[in-house]
Each structure stands twice: as C-alpha cells, then as structure tokens.
Amino acid sequence: MAPARSILAALALCLVSAGAPLLAGGAPREEAYEWHNAKVGGGGFAPNIVFSRAEPDLAYLRTDMGGAYRWDAQAARWIPLQDHTAEGSYLGIESIAADPVDPDKVYLAAGMYKGGEAAIWRSADRGASWNVVEVPFAMGGNEAGRGLGERLAIDPNATDILYFGSRHDGLQRSTDAGRSWRKVASFPHEGLGTPEGRGTNAGISFVLFDPTSGTPGSRSRIVYAAVADPGPQHLFRSDDAGESWRAVPGGPGAEMLPVKGAIADDGTLYIAYCDAIGPNGIDDGAVWKLSPAGEWTDITPKRGGDREGGYMGLALDRNSPGRLALSSVDRWGPGDTVWLSENGGTSWTDLKPRSRRDTRATPFLNWGEDEAEFGHWTAGLAIDPFDGGTIAYTTGATVYRTDDAGKRRLEWRPWVEGVEQTAVITLVSPADGAAVISGFGDLGGFVHDDLAVSPPTMHLNPRLTNTNNLDYAGQRPEVVVRSGSLHAEHRGEGASLAWSGDGGHSWTPLRVLPLKLGDSPARRFDLTGDAAIDVSADGGVFAVATPVGVVTRDRGESWQVPDGLPAFARMTADKVDPELFYAVDFAANTVLVSRDGARSFAPAAGKGLPRELAWNPARKREAQYPLKADPRRAGHLWFLLGGALYHSADGAGSFRRATGRDAAIEEFGLGLHAPDRDLPALYAVATVEGQRGVWRSDDGGAHWVRINDDAHQWGLRFRAISGDPRRYGRVYLATDGRGLIYGDPAAEASHESPASGTPTREGMQ
C-alpha cells in the first residue's frame, strides 16, 4: 500500500492538472507552460566563441548578460545552458573553458558584476546539468574588459588542473577539476582589490598552457598569465607548473595592455594588445609574438595613416602552422575588420574588402541601411580547430560565421539561431494587429507579426538607442506611440517620441514644443528619454509626461497643458472611453481623472487606496508605470502600490485591494479573461508564499498559479510582463538578457522539473 503522503501528493497533482481552484490557505499551484523566444536573433554583445578541440562541430558562446550557449550541430542551433538559474548574476559569463580532451566537460566562470554572486560552473554532460561552486573572488561578466580572455584555462596534459585569472584577487588555481579554488600565492600580481563605485579592474586577462612542456598525465610546466592592470610588467611565466613565476621582459611598451592570447602547438605565443580594456575607449593597439626561445617580434598589421582602435580577437588555425586571424576593435571611422595571416604575422590580408554579409535571417542588422556593417566591438574571434575554412567573430549585436575562409570571396552569415541575448525594456500586446510590440535596449525594439521570424527592421524614424515606453489606442490599436532615449549626436534637436498609424511598422517623429517653467528660458523637455507618451482610446490625443504634462490633438502641430494637472503627473488613457484619462500626483497622494479628453483634470475620490501613494522605481525612465487600464472595460483600473494590486471599477472613484498579504507583486500585466471569468487574467512577476517567479491569476488577484518552473527562470531578471488581449493564457516577458519570451499553457501538464539543468551547490573547500 502506498504511503499516505504519496497518495496525497498524487491527488494534489491530479487536482492541479485538472485545473482545480486553489483553496484558501493552500500551497501555491503550478501550471505547466511551454516557453519560447520571440525571434530576433542575437542582438547583444557576445564577448567570445570557444570551439572544442576534443570534438568537431562543438562550440560554446559566452554572452555578457544572457548566459552561455552550446552549438548543437545536429539541431543547427545554439542551446541556452542556464535558463534554469534563478540567480541573475550567473548570466554574466566571465569566461568559458571546454575540456581539450573530454568533449563532455565544460566550465563557466559566471558572475555579472563585482557586487554580485560569482561561481565556477562544472558540467560533465556539455551543460545539460551543472555543479555550481561558489567562489569568494568577484567577477565582471558585464563590466568593462569583458572582451578579454580567456581567463579560465585547463591544462591540456592534466585536465584536473584549472587556472582562473581574476579581476581583483590575483591568480586562482584548482587541482580537483574546479571543485575547490585557492589563490596562487607566488604569482607576482596579487590583484588591486575590489574598487568602490562603478569602476573595475581588468586583472589577469588570460592564462595559457604550453602543451609542449608536458605529457599526458603530467602537468604542463610552462604556463603564461597576462595582467591588463596598469603597471610596468604585463606578462608572467612559470617554468615549474605554476609554483613560481617571473616577468617576461621585452614586447611592447607598458602602456599596451595584453587583452587576448593564443599559443601555437610549437610553443609560439601570440598576444593582442590595446591601450584600454574596452570594449569602448580603445585608441591604439599592437600585436606581438614570442618565440619559444624568448624572442619578441612586432607583427602589428600595417594600417597606413589609420591609427584608430586596437586589436582584440585572436585565433590560430590548428591545422595550418603560422596561419592566424586577428580582429580590430573600436575602429569606428573606417570600421572594424578581420585580418588573416598565412606566415605567422609577417604579412596580413584584410578580409573586409573580400567580404559580404547575408543578413536575411536577421535583417535588423542592416540598421535601416542597404547593407550591414562589418561589425563593432569585434572582441571574439575563432577558427574551427577541425576546419580552417570556418572562421567566426563576435560583434556588439551578433555573431558572424563564414565557411569560405579559403575562398577569394567570403560570405558571412549570422551564426545566432537560438541565441536571444537582449535587454527588453517594455512591451505591449495590442487588441489587433501584431502579436507583440516591444521596446529594447540598444536595438530600439520590434513589431512581431510572426513570433518565429526575426522582424524586417527595428523601430526607425527616429532610431533611438532605447525604447522606454509604448502605448496603443484601445479602440484603434493600429495607432501606437513610443518614447525613448536619443543617440548622443541627436540630443540637442532630435525627436525622442514617435507615433505610428499602421501598428508600428512605420513611424513619424513627434517633437514637443519648448516649454517655459518659472523664470527659466523656454526649452524642450522631451530629449532626455524621460518623457513617456500615452494615447487616447480613439487614437486622437497624445499625452506626454514632460515636467508639466502636455497633450496634442493634431499630431504635434500644437500642444496644450491640461487644466488641473500637477507637475510630474503622468497621464494614462482609458482603453475604451476616449474621454477618460487618469493621472497620479504621487507628491500629493492623489489620483486625478479627466472626463473631457485630457482638457482638464480633477481629483478623484480614490477611496480604498493607501494613504501614501509611493512609487520610486530604480529605473524610472524604463520602469513600467503602475497604473494600467483594462483593455475591455471603461473605467476599470489596476494600480500597483507597495507590492499590492488595487482594482477600481468606477474610474478611480473607489479601489479595493485585489491581492492578499502572501503576494508581493513586482511587475504586472493584463490579458484576456479566462472563459468562465469577467475580470482580465492577471500576469505578474511576484513572490507568492515565498516563491519568486511568474504567476497568473484568473480571479482578480485572489489566487495565483505559478506558470514558470525550475527549468525556466532566466535568472529571474524581468523588466515587463503582459498578457495577450486576444488569447487567454498567453503571456509575454521582457527579460533583462534573454530576450523577448512568450509562454502558453502546455497541452499536457507536467509539474516535475527535469533533472537536467538543475544545479547543485558546492561550497568552497
């Protein structure tokens, strides 16, 4: 007979699978969902690619805020390896090391910022599952210098020996395959310590073993470690398997910092240098090689009068001695490029004039132009160790690969199928038209008519660095408005606002006229990225949150200040009634309402709200506004205050608290109601009864069901969430590093998290 506990557990699972309601006081329910990325393709900075030397067609990609990926040649796509982690810091990958002998073993150095969690991740099954070893030394996978490396290295002759070059705490070593780590006391550079504020150190930029100095099963005697912190010496060598170290004399001047290194099978060491650690701010660079006999040679490509930028990507062809590739970085004027040498750097061929880029799979890379640039921030570069005709390089927006390196003409294609590495700031799912319209950091954002296809372009006219807020007209959803941050060169006169009459597929810039506040001269207040914009239900009125809110009824030809609207009060349009607008005066703890199309505002009763209406988000310009209007019902509002949701059914006259004390809401959105309900489905990033995750409520916030699971957490880094007003159960998530994600209830519910991918923790020994 089964134990009583097992019977109860099985009964509970059946009830959950059948959709039984959660009883008051019961444990939080879970509902199985299927999760996918809305396709963009790449989109962010991937500092490096690491090919396996143990098996063909096996490669790893590290990103600065979206985790690590493994190339699956059979599926022809990159597989994300860290979606299960709930620790956001672990999605900033400082370094990757693939075991040079055992193709199943791989290691990650994971830690996004110096103040966050840091760990070495160990896998014996190519990242399907992990052991996480927490370490006391800080990392900076998304800090300056993230293109350096690789900091994590495995001795090819004794693969239980690993070194990690830390930013702040010297050289670290493991002698038990990464299970424990200790600082190498004899290494001359102990580290500069962890700086205060936003500054960072480069620390030890790379570690390399000379494979010729050992035999299988016996440690490599010669080990190099490079230091990219300021100082008189930058390269150090050990001749006794890391027990003692000495500075290597010669090479370029001390102003040149070693950023990338590679060692040939004959022991020749190649080093790329920059005068700064990047990825920005590099003005000069050099490339040198060091022979096994200790002779230095300057092999910097001749660039004529062009002295802009440095060098960072460096790769050797393991099948052709003397053949190597090199990438420039921060060469903004002429643009970055990749050079190829067939003779150890004696001469170089610039590949850029021989190249074209086929961006049909990810057309946003054209940035509205006829052709995509070669790339920027080209920090990562790799040659397939089994096929020298395959070269790949990374940029600030994608990864390019060619299999034509031996041909006269090279065609590069984005190598990003499965990679979605972007920060999504905001999103809306309109009542008609596209499934979702998004606002991204760096890329501006997209209209997704088909979630499985990379959109033809990002939001343009104007092209903004970030889109910080979006809104659509509830009764005319083809009218969409957006607000964002200008590129530096346009901050004096450009447009940070735009409107669309075709669902976001094309845009018209919108400028607010200069405003005079007090005795100060009149000036524009819509240039900072802080001026959020909203649109009336019929699409006729645009309301902009400048310090004194303004509205236009003629698409920006003229502007008016509504009567009774206090300073710094943002207007929110009702989604059904075009005459209804709402605003919140957080300074006076007052909700206001307009019943004449935002011509005038007056205080609403606001009964049932807390006495203090506090809202002070960390990212004000990018934060989701806490007041939302129901897309189906006039006068219905949802207000997030202090982690609790409040609901009004009478246009802000009265509110009731919709969520209990056991639910702390961070972000929320509205979607189509459940078939047997009247209220919209609520979606939230929240902590419910101690469990932080993604949740849905079908009864107005009284009860919640967790809809993500332990295999789908994405570092719990979210910026916005919304349901779909046309499809019950559909939810869209704006993640901070893993792109735009959407989920639907699974056809067959399963509440058991897979064993693969779930980490176990191992403390320092």
Q: Do domains 63-249 and 259-419 have the same CATH topology?
A: yes
Whole-number pLDDT of residue 618: 65
Place of tokens 């880029």: 357
442 is catalytic: yes
Mean pLDDT of 482-507: 88
SS3 content of the chain, % helix, strand, coil (to 5): 5, 35, 60
Q: Are 274 and 257 in contact (CB under 8 A)?
A: yes
- Report the 10 Å Cβ neighbour count for 564: 15
The catalytic position among 64, 384, 630, 698 is 64
Mean pLDDT of 162-171: 98
Q: Which amino acid is at 544?
A: V
Length of the chain in terms of residues written: 765
Q: How many CA atoms lie within 13 A of 713 on its CB side?
A: 22
pLDDT tens per residue across span 207-248: 999 999 999 999 999 999 999 999 999 999 999 999 999 999
Average per-residue pLDDT for the chain: 92
User: What are the structural domain ranges in the chain?
Assistant: 63-249, 259-419, 424-516+524-750
Among 573, 637, 630, 640, residue whose Cα is nearest residue 610:
640
Range list of H helices, 453-533: none
Position 764 pLDDT exceeds 50: no
Q: Which amino acid is at 649?
A: A
Q: How confident is the model at residue 406 (pLDDT cuts 50, 70, 90)?
A: confident
Position 667 pLDDT exceeds 60: yes
pLDDT tens per residue across span 623-664: 999 999 999 999 999 999 999 999 999 999 999 999 999 999
Query: Judging by beta carbons within 10 Å of its beta carbon (0-12, 13-18, 19+), is residue 518 exposed, middle or buried?
Result: exposed
- What are phi and psi for residue 700, nearest 5 degrees? 75, 20
350 is catalytic: no
Mean pLDDT of 542-563: 96
What lies within 8 Å, CB to CB, of 493 at 6+ separation is none
Q: How confident is the model at residue 305 (pLDDT cuts 50, 70, 90)?
A: low
Position 8 pLDDT exceeds 80: no
* Sheet-wide strand order for 391-394: 355-357, 410-414, 399-402, 391-394, 381-383
Position 320 pLDDT exceeds 80: yes
CA end-to-end span of the chain: 44
Q: How confident is the model at residue 382 (pLDDT cuts 50, 70, 90)?
A: very high
Whole-number pLDDT of residue 41: 97
Q: Are 389 and 403 in contact (CB under 8 A)?
A: yes
The catalytic position among 57, 239, 284, 442 is 442
Q: Which residue has the higher pLDDT, 395 or 755?
A: 395
Give the integer Cα–Cα distance in Å for 640 and 655: 11
Place of tokens 């930028």: 309
**Class in CATH terms, 63-249:** mainly beta
Position 168 pLDDT exceeds 70: yes
What b/e sequence results for 457-476 when a residue is b if at least 16 CB atoms lie within 10 Å of its CB, and e otherwise?
A: bbbeebbbbbbbbbbbbbbb
| Three-state DSSP class for residue 716 | helix
Position 751 pLDDT exceeds 90: no
What lies within 8 Å, CB to CB, of 42 at 6+ separation is 362, 397, 398, 399, 414, 416, 419, 420, 421
CATH 1.20.1640.10 for domain 424-516+524-750: no
Q: Provide the percentage of residues in the chain whose pLDDT is more than 70.
A: 93
Query: Three-class SS string for 439-474?
Result: EECCCCCCEECCCCCCCCCCCCCCCCCEEEEEEECC
Position 762 pLDDT exceeds 70: no
Q: What is the DSSP letter of 352?
A: G
Q: Which residue has the higher pLDDT, 133 or 486?
A: 133
Q: Provide the percentage of residues in the chain whose pLDDT is more than 90.
A: 88
Position 756 pLDDT exceeds 90: no
Quickly name the fold that domain 259-419 has: Methylamine Dehydrogenase; Chain H (2.130.10)
Give the integer Cα–Cα distance in Å for 80 and 290: 37
- Report the 10 Å Cβ neighbour count for 635: 18
pLDDT tens per residue across span 96-138: 999 999 999 999 999 999 999 999 999 999 999 999 999 999 9
Place of tokens 């100095």: 213
